[in-house]
């Protein structure tokens, strides 16, 4: 399976993250699954004219490829000219339109590519940025809501900022081995293999969440939802069951999930690291739980919080250990 | 005179085109074009100041931690807070992890594949170089990716993930390392040392770091089976120690309390850093502005139809001079003897820039080991850092690629102005209003180019390890 990769209005971090793939080195992993890069801007030997020849051949149909991976927002400005990003003198948006028409599958790598990035979420959208098939959460984007790739699917949105290497490798391998169908994607076109979970699942702070024992300041061990802006109960991704960089996740790193797989995460309407509240109750509650239940449950669990959990929640290390019972009682 | 456009110039971070005027097979003048505009500075205006910690790492996927560190330093300056010792050590470790990984990612994935080109097929080293360094399939590429992924486990433990962490705060780190994790950090550092000492240096790090001049370096490389020595032998064969000199000054903001801040000229005599000498000129960028402005009062306003412009990159100048920044500048300003000798003989060069990066790897890993040893689980990692409603602040750090500065002003609790000067903005700057070319533009003049020329231009461009996404933040 041949993959053509281009970058545009993004940071290149999804490629840098992809190179962290484990346990096998990325290129060995892909090669043995029958996946190869036709060209990748950061990784291929061809430069300048040789690279341009590859891109032109792919664009005019004389060189076959299967998957078009785009990393970075589509920049249509200034004034619709596409001049904020040109490749060989032509707006990258033109290249993408042409290549997408030839591709059997189109993948948006990262949230910028899927939804449009920071500019698209800033008043006035100064870069006139958009996603491949979304303007933030509205279908549309560069390719339009009606776009379908050769496989009949819309753009596959590997959203995340950055993407986990496993999300990309597993989606490519799913496609190479079994094919990909609409049933493999959620309502926003994200692969269910990582988007059917919530970041909350497997969160190492779950005991603090259960008792609403909340962190009050950075580096506290407690739950980050009540005060520090955590959206793990609303964000679709498997970050706490699929480890980042061996042993990590945002929550394990001590900071809030900012829901970077969700459209619009860049402009939450409040400071990222603070939880907006109404009458003392966080406004961003779990998506599928009636508010009254949550409030009742929170009040009950707060009243039942063990001292150990309450005290540890506001420290950066365990000050009260779980008690040890002797004699198996 | 013929005009050649090299682009898309790949295996750099981000987008780059280089335009050359060539006569009699030699470059007469060069223009460096950053063809992608990111516009982060205007996007930050009006935000809560602490939001910068979420937004600025996303300027760059390869030096994300350096961007976080610069923002955190600026906010710490604004709050008047200093992180506690554990917080400082955790930040140093996270930043050094990115720094070292970037140096070797550049070495293995971006820089070395060019020596596999057919143009070098008749060289004695070519077959060995292809076997080890060919893009995506060389025998050293897989082991590097594996070592890199394992090394980034440090970031997993210390910062949750890489890239794009929020662990780095003005008051320290959100992640307090546990006693058990500290043992793992030390083990990961030993594992990475083993990779370096077996494959990269084929020698003890401390032994390589002690090589004091160009002759001992050549003698060291002669019989050494490691990947760096293979590069040094081919570099000697191609004379890469004699090509690539560019700017008249070197600049460093200082790093880790280990490498000092300062600047120096061709005589390598170091002056203290004076940030008051820094201005940005936009005369050849598609940006509006009449006169060069200090970053504290700088602006980023699009002027896409400006006739004299050819890039989205501004032209920073230091006391009017074009400056080169990066590992070489850091090591020269630190007075490192091997690089003083290399640059003293031939000026800045492709070889000197690569040696400086690898030397930094060899010097920093042992220090990282001592930082991890010094972590004290149970003692604080983060202090409160309440931000004032109004004020100005500066955050200066060294990214892998050189000096990175964030200049911030806050009014009524919102960001009023945010200006960034990134390392490659210095190195790949365009001409300024006096017509003086940037560091790379100068370094390319006189090199062979055009039909049948060796890919020397490619080596010189990549020797700077450009990060274009930072450049055009």
Residue A282, pLDDT score: 84
Of the partner residues A17, A52, A252, the one whose CB lies closest to the CB of residue B8? A52
Q: Which residue in A28, A81, A247 is closest to B156 by CB distance? A: A247
Which superfamily, per CATH, for B2-470? Cytochrome-c3 Hydrogenase, chain B (1.10.645.10)
Let me know whether A179 and A213 are in one domain. Answer: no
Q: What are the two backbone dihedrals, phi and then psi, of residue B246, each rounded to the nearest 5 degrees?
A: -135, -90
User: Residue A303 burial (CB < 10 Å; 0-12/13-18/19+)?
Assistant: exposed
Beta carbons of B35 and A162 less than 8 Å apart: no
For residue A329, being part of any structural domain is answered with no
In a domain, A202, yes or no: yes
**Residue A238, in any domain of the structure:** yes
Q: Tell me which residues of chain B have a pLDDT lower than 50.
A: none
Cβ neighbourhood burial of B389 (10 Å; 0-12, 13-18, 19+):
exposed
pLDDT in tens, chain A (329 residues): 999 999 999 999 999 999 999 999 999 999 999 999 999 999 999 999 999 999 999 999 999 999 999 999 999 999 999 999 999 999 999 999 999 999 999 999 999 999 999 999 999 999 999 999 999 999 999 999 999 999 999 999 999 999 999 999 999 999 999 999 999 999 999 999 999 999 999 999 999 999 999 999 999 999 999 999 999 999 999 999 999 999 899 999 999 999 999 999 999 999 999 999 988 888 877 778 888 888 888 889 999 999 999 999 999 999 999 999 887 65
The residue from A164, A193, A222 where one domain ends is: A193
Instruction: Report the pLDDT value the prediction gives residue A328, as an integer from 0 to 100.
Output: 63
Both A142 and A122 in one domain: the answer is: yes
Q: Is residue A327 part of a domain?
A: no
The verdict on A311 and A208 lying in the same domain is: yes
Shared-domain flag, residues A132 and A235: no
Same domain, yes or no: A189 and A54? yes
Three-state secondary structure of B147-208: HHHHHCHHHHHHHCCCCCCCCEECCEECCCCCHHHHHHHHHHHHHHHHHHHHHHCCCCHHHH
User: Which of A253, A268, A314 has the most B C-beta neighbours within 10 Å, making it the best mutation to test the interface with B?
Assistant: A253
Euclidean distance between CA atoms B352 and B243, whole angstroms: 10
Identify the pLDDT of residue B469.
87
The CATH number of whichever domain residue A90 belongs to comes to 3.40.50.700
- Bridge-based pairing of strands B262-264 and B270-271 is antiparallel
Domain termination site, one of A148, A166, A193 = A193
Q: What is the largest CA-CA distance in chain B?
A: 68
- Enter the DSSP assignment of B413: T
Q: Can you give the residue range of the structural domain that contains A14?
A: 2-193
Question: Are residue A242 and residue A145 in the same domain, yes or no?
Answer: no
**C-alpha–C-alpha distance, residues B149 and B166, integer Å:** 20
- Beta bridge partners, B2, equal B22
- Considering the domain architecture, whether residues A203 and A186 belong to the same structural domain is answered as no
Burial B415-446, CB ≥16 within 10 A → b, else e: bbbbbbbbbbbbbbbbbbeeebbbbbbbbbbe
What CATH number corresponds to the domain at position A291?
4.10.480.10
CB atoms within 10 A of CB B202: 18
Query: Which residues from A are below 8 Å from B313, CB to CB?
Result: none
Residues in chain B with CB shorter than 8 Å from the CB of A27 are: 136-137, 141-142, 145
- Note whether residue A60 is domain-resident: yes
Instruction: Please report residues of B whose CB lies closer than 8 A to that of A260.
Output: 164
Q: Rounded CA gap, A163 and A194, in Å?
A: 11
DSSP letter for each residue of A40-70: -TTT-S--HHHHHHHHHHHHHTSS--SEEEE
Q: Taking CB atoms and an 8 Å limit, are A83 and B304 in contact across chains?
A: yes
Instruction: Tell me what pLDDT residue B248 has.
Output: 85
User: Do A256 and A164 fall within a single domain?
Assistant: no
CA dist., res. B302 & res. B258, Å (int):
39
From the list A15, A84, A122, which residue is nearest B37 (CB)?
Answer: A84
Cα(B25)–Cα(B4) distance, integer angstroms: 11
DSSP letter (8 states) at residue B142: H
Flag if B39 and A28 touch (Cβ within 8 Å).
no
Select from B12, B10, B230, B240 the least CA-distant residue to B138: B230
Tell me, yes or no, whether A157 and A111 share the same domain.
yes
- Is B394 strand, coil or helix? strand
Q: Tell me if residue B420 falls in helix, strand or coil.
A: strand
Find residue B264's DSSP bridge partners: B250, B270
Residues A77 and A153 in one domain: yes
Integer Rg of chain B from CA: 22
Which ipTM did the prediction report? 0.97
Interface A-B: count of C-beta contacts within 8 A: 249
CA-nearest residue of chain A to B302? A78
| A189/A206 same-domain check | no
Q: CA angle, corner B72, sides to B328 and B56, nearest 5?
A: 80
B345 touches B356 (CB < 8 A): no
Q: In chain A, which residues have their Cβ closer than 8 Å to the Cβ of B53? A: 272-273
CA separation for the pair B76, B391 (Å, rounded) = 12
* Cα gap B114→B445, rounded to integer Å: 20
Q: Count CB atoms within 10 A of the CB of residue B172.
A: 31
Residues 313-372 of B with CB under 8 A from A: none
Sign of CA dihedral A169, A172, A173, A178: positive
Contacts of B6 in chain A (CB under 8 A): 47-48
Of A193, A215, A242, the position where a domain reaches its end is: A193
- Model pTM? 0.98
Structural domains counted in chain A: 2
What stretch of H or E contains A298? helix A291-303
Residues A179 and A231 in one domain: no
The answer as to whether A324 is a domain residue is no
> Which of A27, A87, A255 is nearest residue B8 as measured by Cβ atoms?
A87
C-alpha B317/C-alpha B432 separation (Å) is 8
- The phi, psi pair for A196, rounded to 5°, reads -90, -5
| Element of type H or E holding B361 | helix B350-374
Distance (Å, rounded) from C-alpha B324 to C-alpha B321? 10
């Amino acid at each position: 399976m041949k993959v053509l990769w281009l970058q545009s209005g993004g940071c290149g971090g999804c490629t840098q993250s992809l190179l962290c793939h484990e346990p096998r080195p990325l290129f060995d992993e892909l090669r043995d699954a029958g996946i190869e890069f036709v060209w990748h801007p950061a990784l291929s030997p061809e430069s300048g004219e040789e690279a341009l020849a590859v891109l032109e051949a792919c664009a005019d149909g004389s060189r076959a490829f299967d998957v078009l991976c785009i990393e970075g927002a589509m920049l249509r400005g200034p004034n619709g000219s596409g001049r904020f990003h040109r490749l060989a003198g032509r707006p990258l948006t033109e290249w993408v339109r042409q290549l997408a028409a030839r591709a059997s599958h189109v993948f948006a790598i990262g949230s910028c590519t899927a939804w449009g990035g920071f500019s698209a979420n800033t008043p006035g959208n100064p870069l006139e940025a958009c996603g491949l098939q979304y303007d933030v959460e509205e279908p549309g984007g560069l390719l339009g809501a009606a776009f379908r790739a050769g496989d009949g699917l819309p753009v596959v949105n590997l959203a995340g900022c950055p993407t986990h290497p496993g999300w990309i490798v597993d989606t490519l391998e799913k496609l190479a081995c079994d094919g990909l169908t609409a049933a493999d994607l959620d309502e926003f076109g994200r692969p269910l293999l990582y988007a059917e979970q919530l970041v909350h699942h497997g969160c190492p702070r779950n005991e603090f969440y259960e008792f609403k024992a909340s962190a009050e300041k950075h580096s506290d061990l407690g739950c980050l939802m009540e005060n520090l802006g955590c959206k793990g109960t609303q964000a679709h991704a498997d970050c706490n069951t699929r480890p980042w960089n061996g042993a990590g996740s945002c929550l394990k790193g001590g900071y809030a999930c900012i829901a970077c797989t969700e459209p619009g995460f860049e402009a939450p309407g409040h400071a990222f690291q603070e939880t907006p509240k109404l009458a003392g109750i966080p406004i961003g509650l779990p998506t599928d739980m009636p508010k009254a239940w949550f409030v009742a449950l929170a009040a009950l669990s707060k009243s039942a919080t063990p001292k150990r959990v309450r005290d540890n929640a506001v420290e950066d290390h365990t000050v009260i250990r779980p008690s040890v019972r002797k004699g198996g009682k | 005179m013929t005009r050649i456009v090299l682009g898309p110039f790949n295996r750099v971070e981000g987008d780059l085109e280089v335009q050359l005027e060539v006569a009699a097979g030699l470059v007469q003048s060069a223009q460096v074009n950053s063809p992608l505009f990111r516009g982060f500075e205007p996007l930050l205006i009006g935000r809560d100041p602490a939001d910068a910690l979420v937004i600025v790492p996303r300027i760059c996927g390869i030096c994300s931690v350096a961007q976080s560190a610069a923002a955190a330093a600026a906010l710490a300056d604004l709050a008047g807070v200093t992180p506690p010792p554990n917080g400082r050590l955790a930040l140093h470790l996270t930043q050094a992890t990115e720094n070292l990984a970037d140096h070797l990612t550049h070495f293995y994935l971006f820089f070395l594949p060019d020596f596999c080109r057919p143009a070098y097929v008749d060289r004695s080293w070519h077959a060995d170089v292809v076997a080890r360094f060919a893009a995506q399939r060389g025998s050293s590429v897989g082991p590097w990716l594996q070592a890199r992924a394992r090394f980034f486990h440090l970031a997993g433990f210390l910062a949750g993930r890489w890239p794009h962490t929020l662990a780095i705060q003005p008051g320290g780190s959100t992640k307090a390392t546990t006693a058990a994790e500290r043992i793992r950090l030390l083990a990961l550092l030993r594992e990475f040392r083993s990779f370096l000492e077996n494959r990269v240096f084929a020698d003890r790090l401390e032994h390589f770091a002690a090589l004091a001049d160009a002759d001992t370096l050549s003698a060291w490389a002669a019989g050494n089976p490691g990947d760096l020595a293979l590069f040094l032998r081919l570099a000697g064969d191609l004379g890469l120690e004699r090509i690539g000199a560019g700017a008249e000054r070197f600049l460093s903001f200082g790093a880790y309390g280990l490498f000092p801040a300062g600047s120096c000229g061709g005589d390598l005599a170091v002056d203290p850093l004076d940030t008051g000498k820094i201005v940005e000129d936009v005369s050849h960028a598609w940006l509006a502005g009449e006169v060069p402005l200090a970053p504290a009062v700088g602006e980023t306003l699009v002027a896409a139809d400006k006739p004299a412009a050819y890039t989205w990159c501004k032209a920073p100048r230091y006391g009017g001079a074009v400056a080169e920044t990066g590992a070489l500048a850091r090591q020269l300003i630190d007075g490192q003897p091997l690089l003083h000798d290399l640059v003293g003989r031939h000026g800045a060069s492709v070889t000197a820039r690569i040696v400086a990066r690898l030397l930094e790897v060899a010097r920093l890993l042992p220090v990282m080991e001592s930082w991890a040893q010094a972590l004290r689980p149970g003692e604080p990692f983060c202090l409160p850092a309440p931000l004032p409603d109004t004020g100005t602040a500066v955050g200066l750090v060294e990214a892998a690629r050189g000096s990175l500065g964030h200049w911030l002003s806050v009014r009524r609790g919102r960001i009023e102005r945010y200006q960034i000067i990134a390392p490659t903005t210095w190195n790949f700057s365009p001409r300024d209003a006096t017509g003086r070319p940037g560091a790379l533009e100068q370094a390319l003049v006189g090199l062979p180019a055009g039909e049948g020329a060796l890919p020397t231009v490619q080596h010189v461009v990549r020797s700077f390890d450009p990060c274009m996404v930072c450049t055009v933040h």
